[in-house]
Structure 1
Amino acid sequence: MKNSFEEWVQEITEGASNREIAMKAGIPMTTFHRKWTKGEFTAEDAVTIARAYGRNPIEALVEQGTLTPDEVHNAGVHPIEEFTMLELSREMLRRVQQQAAVPDYLSEPMDGTGRKKSN
């Protein structure tokens, strides 16, 4: 019987073979097969597989059982789907304003030589 992590791997790899997954993740095939058969994937394996398939390593650690959803939630890491439109809009505005911030030396008057005017 497959565990939650193995089911998650099958889902994110769209049913790829163990050989294909091992190759893409850079895990030796014999090691991958042994861990798959015994359900002994480590946190490092989970992160490696997640990264190989462009998934969030935190998601992998929850599926693998290293982290609980409560631990992730309490750490302030939330899936984007949990944010309201207002929260997303505020964060976008904050980032735009942050990038548009003008350094002091660009907003202070200059003398005719290109130097900052002394008071």
Structure 2
Amino acid sequence: MSVSAIAFQRWISQLAPGSSTADVCRQSGVKRSTLAQQLVRGKVAETTVVAVARAYGRNPVLGLAEFEQYRELAASIAPPTDAEVLSQTPTARLLQELLVRVAARPGHAPAPLAATDSRIAEPAAVKQWVEAIDDGELRHRVSVAAGIAPQNYSAQLSANRLTPELAVRTAREAGVGLRNGLVVTGLVTAAEAGWPPSAVEDALGRLSDAELTLLASERLATLGRALKRQEHEERASRRAWDHLA
């Protein structure tokens, strides 16, 4: 959601003593008009806090933890579960691991594979993360705890997004590290949240061949459905333009 503008200004005075608003914007890359509007409204976006924290060499997670609604982040250092890590692992990385294992079996010639970056680097998969940590009642608990209608929560997930505050609340209700919610929304990086550099490799290594194959096939099925919807929408759009022409 946002943090208090008064609290933000107090934080800035401690983070960068003597710096003007223009100095802060120049250092962080935040537009002056954007920050000015947020200060006038009395609410500063978490993205602004993160950008400013990074600019002044502060870990953005700890920067957010200095604001009331994010205090718990400072003490929440639980490592991500394998399910969480795998929910954020690129599909291409899953397929690469699968091909490597197949090539290593007797009777299969090693397949030349291009090196890929196994770090969590593609757009965050919010819906996949929630599905990975959902015990069947998570969405209901989050809706009640946050005081929002279940359909509003589901709408955010369908759009593959959550506000930072709601992502942290989701992590709390699921009993996982609170920082993980910020990672999956893309607000902070896995490294900034303290995820081990080897998280992806370790999680993949603990998957059996069957588990890896099923996970990869599920991802491909989801991707196939998404591409089919996209193609359908593009065809419908072309027909509409042809009709107007």
Sort the TM-score into its range (normalised by shorter chain). 0.5 to 0.7
Given the alignment of the two structures, is residue 24 of structure 1 paired with residue 24 of structure 2, yes or no? no
State the match for 2:77 in structure 1: 75
Question: Would the aligned equivalents of 2:62 and 2:74 in 1 still touch at CA under 8 Å?
Answer: no
Bigger Cα Rg: 1
How many Å separate the matches in 2 of 1:37 and 1:11?
Answer: 21
Q: Tell me how far 1:66 sits from its aligned partner.
A: 4.7
The aligned counterpart of 2:104 is: none
Aligned to 1:38: 41
Code of the aligned partner of 2:30? I
Aligned to 1:82: none
CA contact (8 A) 2:46 2:64 kept: yes
Range that drifts further, 22-31 or 32-41: 32-41
Unaligned runs of 5+ in 2: 80-245
Question: Which amino acid letter does the alignment assign opposite residue 61 of structure 2?
Answer: I
How many percent of aligned residue pairs carry the same amino acid? 24
Alignment of 1:76-91 (within 5 A): 76=78
CA deviations on 1:68-92 (whole Å, 9 max, x unpaired) are 23x4313359xxxxxxxxxxxxxxx
Give the RMSD, CA atoms, in angstroms: 2.5
Residue 13 of structure 2 aligns with which residue? Answer: 10
Count of aligned pairs between the two proteins: 76
In 2, the alpha carbon distance for the partners of 1:23 and 1:49 equals 10
Q: C-alpha separation between the residues in 2 aligned to 1:66 and 1:47?
A: 15
With over 3 angstroms needed to count, the CA separation of the structure-2 counterparts of 1:26 and 1:47, relative to structure 1, is same
Shift of 1:58: 1.6
Q: Which range moved further: 36-45 or 5-14?
A: 36-45
SS in 2 for 1:27: coil
Q: Which amino acid aligns with 2:66?
A: E
Mapping for residues 47-66 of structure 1, pairs under 5 Å: 47-66=50-69
Compute the TM-score of the two structures, normalised by the length of structure 1: 0.53
Query: Any stretches of 5+ residues in structure 1 without a counterpart?
Result: 78-119
Q: Pick 1 or 2: higher relative contact order, CA cutoff 8 A, min separation 6.
A: 2
Distance in 1 (CA, whole Å) between partners of 2:10 and 2:31 is 20
Contact 1:51 1:57 in 2 (8 A): yes
Please give the alpha-carbon distance, in whole angstroms, between the structure 2 residues aligned to 1:16 and 1:26: 14
CA positional deviation for 1:47: 0.8
